[in-house]
Amino acid sequence: MAFDAVLLSAVLQELSPVIAGAKLDKIQQPEKDKLILSLRGSGQSVRLLLSARPGAARLHLTQTQYENPQSPPMFCMLLRKHLSGARLTAVTQPPMERIVRLEFDTYNAMGEPSKKYLLVECMGKYANVVLTDAGGMILDALRRVDEDMSRDRRLLPGLLYRLPPDGGKRNPLDTAVTEADLFKTPELRPDQWLLDIFFGLSPLTARELSFRALGDMDVRIGRLSQEAVNAYIGVLNAHLEKIREKSFAPYLLLEGDKPVDYSYMPIEQYGAARTCQRAASFSQMLEQFYMQRDRADRMRQKSGALTKTVTALRDRTARRLGMQREELKATGERERMRQMGDIVTANLYRMEKGQKTLVAADFFDPDCKEATIRLDPLKTPQQNAALYYKKYTKLKTAEAHLRRELERGEAELAYLNSTVEVLSKAETSGDVEEVRRELVETGVLKKQKKTSKKEKRIVSSPLRFRSSAGLEILVGKNNLQNDELTFHTAHKADLWLHAQKIHGSHVIVRCNGAPDDASVKEAAVLAAYYSQGRDGQKIPVDYTQVRHVKRQAGGKPGMVFYTDQKTVIVTPDGEAVRRLEEKN
């Protein structure tokens, strides 16, 4: 991600006028590596998020409401002790460091004026939040770092706080870049050289500057022409001058409708593969990017155990089906068993007990060639014939049984695949619990032992949208909800949609008749988006009236067959989905 020192400077340029001088009303620590500071000043109240999560370290204003733990963590209690009611007097950043220094005016235990500093270190996997006194002595850190964890820099109560070492790199804002600097390492790519020489810049920024100057990010410095060298140095120095002037703007980098990165300048290196979208503010940009990613991470954690269980069941079912298919192939020999029984019966007059083989004309062969048939010498000729008929009957019975088992197993595999798909798109804890309840009710999972505490049953509603023509569109979020939606909520004349031949949600257009073409297409986009084909293009979506949709006999919830359908081809579009949601 591109949360480098320059982007941090841009964030602080936006934040400082809002939070400097504000009073600290409340301190919360909803997660082990996340703090929320509620600030009040200049006629407004804001909430400042401080994240020390590795890979997601940042600070910005937030409007997201977090659920707090019943007992505040120790670090949160310490901050409340030292900073509750304090005034945030200054927000500073050491030159080109990913560190923010929040200066607070407060009072000590004796009631005397005192200063405290909260240092937010947005340094990737080394992210941290450190509280110090006026003299720089560490009172505590969100993550204590001892000598076993770092020989260069310890963060422990009682030690003096020191900035991290610069690793021998230069501050890019101190001097202009020259040609002599560039050719010290001719074997490197320009973006590698930039990261090796200077601190404070991200790989995304380094690649972008190389792309803008050279149009090629893989070329080596030693192979650059003089014209290319001049162009690259010119782009670098112009960019550094913009940083000095604090000329920044927030941009989200999108892949489809999914935010994949962000920057303080437009990103052009990906061409048409990714879209660069201007955001309203740096806080809004970071909130949108990380809230979507954090929500996905949290849901993966919440649904992880259940997903693992269902995936294991699915894989076991798939393996069993593979073995049963092989067994079914073996039953194809049953007709030959009957034929050999007939040949033995036809030649009983020629046979004697104790024979090991029978060589006789195979009257089932078009050319009536001779066949060699193995016999049990301990059995009579009649018993050998009966033995082949018995094998025939056994294989015939096995075939019927295997076909039933395969049909049942394939339905079970389809259901488990659909459940894995539903879990991958679960957005809330309630969605996960509904899937768990469904699996228990359908007998896939065993019911957990009853506890003394009565659990509250979570029941969610389908997703609701409204078409451009004003028709209500409902989308099921899991198999039970699909079943309820199609066979209980919808009217017979409503329109039913489903992505063709892949797992997905049941979609209902509440029209009680024939809907307009635009509503059909919009509902089809929803069906494609809430299906296994979300990341694809040109997804076929079937639609028919609800009256033509029937449950599969003995099938799991959501398993249906339908007739009289038509098909429309659409591409899943997250932006269109949001517009339909807003209309509702």
d(CA 82, CA 352): 105
Q: Which carries the bigger pLDDT value, residue 273 or residue 24?
A: 24
Domain 5-141 homologous superfamily, CATH: ibrinogen binding protein from staphylococcus aureus domain (2.30.310.10)
Cα atoms in the Cβ-side hemisphere of radius 13 Å centred on 457 = 3
Does the pLDDT at position 167 exceed 90? no
Are 75 and 139 contacting, i.e. CB atoms less than 8 angstroms apart? no
**3-class secondary structure for 351-382?**
CCCCCCEEEEECCCCCCCCEEEEECCCCCCHH
Closest CA to 509 of 570, 419, 580, 574: 580
Q: Which residues pair with 558 in a beta bridge?
A: none
Q: What is the pLDDT of residues 16-66, one digit of tens each?
A: 999 999 999 999 999 899 999 999 987 789 999 999 998 889 999 999 888
* pLDDT at 496 (0 to 100): 96
Q: Can you say how many angstroms the Cα of residue 279 is from the centroid of all Cα atoms in its chain?
A: 23
Helix (H, G, I), strand (E, B) or coil at 439: helix
Helices (H) and strands (E) in the chain, counts: 13, 22
CA distances (Å), 544 to each of 174, 507, 516, 524, in order? Answer: 68, 11, 14, 12
Structure tokens, 238: 């112009």
Residue with more model confidence, 431 or 34: 34
Beta-bridge partner residues of 360 = 371
Q: Residue written as tokens 């309840």?
A: 437
pLDDT for position 189: 92
Q: What is the pLDDT of residue 105?
A: 96
Residue 563: C-alpha distances to residues 206, 487, 544, 548 (Å) = 57, 15, 7, 6
Which position has the higher pLDDT, 411 or 458?
Answer: 411
Distance CA 98, CA 5 (A): 5
Measured CA to CA, the distance from residue 21 to residue 154 in angstroms comes to: 31
The DSSP 8-state label assigned to residue 273 in this structure reads G
> How far apart, in whole angstroms, are the C-alpha atoms of residue 350 and residue 273?
80
d(CA 139, CA 129): 11
Place of tokens 């959501």: 558
pLDDT band at 83 (very low <50, low <70, confident <90, very high): very high
Quote the CA–CA distance of 5 and 93 in Å, as a whole number.
9
pLDDT digits (tens, 9 = 90+) for 493-528: 999 999 998 888 999 999 977 899 999 999 999 999
Residue 68 banded pLDDT, cuts 50, 70, 90: confident
| Helix, strand, or coil (residue 495) | strand
pLDDT digits (tens, 9 = 90+) for 450-467: 544 555 554 568 899 999
Whether the per-residue pLDDT at 255 is higher than 60: the answer is yes
Residue type, 117: Y
Q: Give tens-digit pLDDT for 174-230.
A: 878 888 888 888 899 999 999 998 888 999 999 999 999 998 888 899 899 999 999
DSSP lists the bridge partners of residue 472 as 466, 510
Ranges for all domains in the chain classified under CATH 2.30.310.10: 5-141
Q: Which two tokens stand for residue 192?
A: 């590698």
Q: Which of 541, 548, 536, 500 is nearest to 520 (CA)?
A: 541
CA distance 84 to 77: 10
- Which positions ≥6 away from 104 have C-beta within 8 Å? 24, 83, 86, 87, 88, 89, 115, 116, 117, 118
- The mean per-residue pLDDT over the stretch 549-576 comes to 89
Distance (Å, rounded) from C-alpha 375 to C-alpha 356? 5
541 pLDDT above the threshold of 90: yes
User: How open is the CA angle 74-77-81, to the nearest 5 degrees?
Assistant: 140
- CB distance 99 to 123 below 8 Å: yes
Residue 303, pLDDT above cutoff 80: no
161 contacts 128 by C-beta, under 8 angstroms: no
Q: What's the rounded Cα separation, in Å, for the pair 68 and 312?
A: 34
Residue 135 to residue 424: CA distance in whole angstroms:
50
| Length of the chain counted residue by residue | 584
Nearest to 523 by CA among 459, 463, 460, 435: 463
| List of residues 6+ apart from 452 with CB closer than 8 A | none
Q: What integer pLDDT is reported at residue 17 of this predicted model? A: 93
Q: What distance in Å separates the CA atoms of residue 510 and residue 494, rounded to the nearest whole number?
A: 5
pLDDT score at 16: 94
pLDDT of 450 reads 57
Distance CA 421, CA 428 (A): 15
Phi-psi region of 256 (alpha: psi -120 to 50; beta: other; left: phi over 0): left
Task: Lowest mean pLDDT of 195-204, 347-356, 423-432, name the range.
Answer: 423-432
pLDDT of 424 over the 80 cut:
no
